A and B are shown apart, each in its own frame.
Chain A
Amino acid sequence: MPKVEVKKAGFYTTVQDLGRLNAAQYGVPRSGVMDSFSAKKANLLLNNPADAAVLEITMTGPTLLFQSKTQIAVCGAIFDMYLDECLISNAKAFQVEAGSVLRFSGLKQGFRAYLAIQQGFKTEVVLESRSQYQGITSASRLVNGEKLEIEALENSVIASARVNFEDQELFSNTIKTFRGLEFELLPQKLQKKLFTEKFKLTPAGNRMAIPFKELLPNDLKGILTGPVIPGTVQLTPKGNLIALMQDCQVTGGYPRVLQISERGLCKLAQKKPGETVTFQLSQFD
């Protein structure tokens, strides 16, 4: 199988697909891409199936050497990217020749980019998914010098799919949410605060959870351990608001005050530590 060599891995680059949808019964986190919208878009540009494995690139990008001809597309966060020292653009399919090098430079907007490759990366499958997660897959992230298997390109026709719309809304600060399961237990003043205050992402955020800086002092009691999923926002007794992300546990004991929408999760995944968001209340029809 042809390979892509990871010359430099970047700050935090992982292989992800849509995650382990059937493993929560064993207590295994779902994992999968944090911004599914951008990852699916990158796959769409190459006519890949939506669940083809991509690279999730966080904050700084990798340097990749392609050992064979293929096609790539990068969506999500906007970086300066150079293919053999030629500046290439986001959200567009590119043909890559054997021996080509892709290098990421400055991050201009957003936080996580998704690099799709023709037919997806062919890394190990564990519990029906290639998503990297410590203790489940043999590695939890890319390391310098490793080689990722890909499909040989069968024909040289460049993927014709174009997704030609600007997606500035992805980078807006408004996150669509629904009432969480314990929302009604909050005093009205706190309920209102959730949708009027700005919440700042702390540097402690990662693929498991994003905690916010502002405190919401409360006297809610813990709940009987119950299900949580990516997008569940918990409120701790100390008043910390924590948005659970793709690598979160499958159950939790803190009150679940909000549930972030799928699109809202993608937008939150594009926020850097230090940026702020506001939550917008939405209702099911």
Chain B
Amino acid sequence: MQIKPTINRLGEQAILVQWDFNITTENLNWLLKVKEKLQLKLLKSKVQIINTYNSLLINYNNGIENIYTDFETLESYDFKVIDSEEFKGELYKLPVCYDVEFGLDLEELAQRNSLTTAEIIDLHTLPIYTLYFMGFLPGFLYLGGMDERLKISRKNEPRKSVLKGAVGIAENQTGIYPTSSPAGWQIIGNCPVELFNAENEHPCPFKAGDQIQFYSVSKQEYDTIKQQIEDEIFELKPESHA
């Protein structure tokens, strides 16, 4: 199903391999399999590879001795041989408090999209989102799979600052601000779970290909979880696979 990628050098120390395909979980899973194959077998150098929706960036920061031969390997490689069997990411459930205290733009979203707050919460907690990659801020998750009925343009005037954990919507994307930050997204709630901590062995609990589902919690439950996180007794565990 996958056609030949476009392969370009990005400066002296990187190669970008890009496919012209749609943003789907299947294509992401295939991309992550290609990434693994390149890292483990195909390329001669020890490289760092990151993926976005439809591309793999291969970084040669440890030395560019093999970049020319690797480039040729990529150009002649038949990517069709990599099959698209299930790549199984983990499923995580994340609490979100949609209380008006946090949901600064719930009312605007309700009005503009002719929805009630309860409907917004339902539409936001129902889908299982796919984590495509992280970017923008450390620990900021690019999630796919939001319900089109929640689609809304960014704020005309970005806010100077939103709280750490603010859950927002911009166009057809939803995301969580991992730290307090200036923000142009419409804010509908807050997630108390820490998404990034540079001190941890795994700075972010998730990886590309994982799945995320939100569940609604009251302000009281939110405070309890926040306290558990502070006391270091909150554990975020993946759901067991069905």
Contact = CB atoms under 8 A, between A and B. Distances in A.
Interface string A162-195: 0000000000000000100100000000000000
Contacts of B196: 26-27
A24 interface: yes
A249 B11 contact: no
A244 B120 CA distance: 38
Given A21-B48, A259-B10, A262-B11, A251 B198 contact: no
A22 B48 contact: yes
B52 A225 contact: yes
A231 B18 CA distance: 19
Nearest to B62: A21
Contacts, number: 100
Of residues A26, A126, A181, A229, which shows the largest number of chain B Cβ atoms within 10 Å of its Cβ?
A: A26
Given A27-B136, A232-B10, A262-B13, A251 B203 contact: no
Q: SS class of chain A's interface: helix, strand, loop or mixed? A: loop
Contacts of B50: 24-25, 227, 250
Interface in A201-248: 224-227, 229, 231-232
Interface string A16-31: 0010011111111100
A227 B55 CA distance: 8
Contacts of B16: 181, 226-227
B30 interface: no
Interface in B1-52: 8-14, 16, 18, 23, 48, 50, 52
Interface stretch (B81-89, B137-145, B215-223, B232-240): B137-145
A136 interface: yes
Given A181-B16, A259-B10, A27 B140 contact: yes
Contacts of A116: none
Contacts of A181: 8, 10, 16, 18
Sort chain B's interface into a size bin: 35 or more
Interface of A: 18, 21-29, 126-127, 135-136, 178, 181, 224-227, 229, 231-232, 249-251, 259-262, 284
A284 B59 CA distance: 17
A140 to B, nearest CB: 13
Nearest to B57: A227
A261 B137 CA distance: 25
Given A21-B48, A181-B8, A249 B136 contact: yes
Contacts of A22: 48
A225 B135 contact: yes
Contact of B57 (A23, A135, A229): A229
B172 interface: no
Contacts of B23: 224
Given A18-B61, A225-B142, 18 more contacts: A23-B138, A26-B138, A26-B203, A27-B138, A28-B198, A28-B203, A178-B9, A181-B8, A225-B53, A226-B16, A226-B53, A227-B10, A229-B14, A229-B59, A249-B136, A250-B50, A250-B134, A262-B13
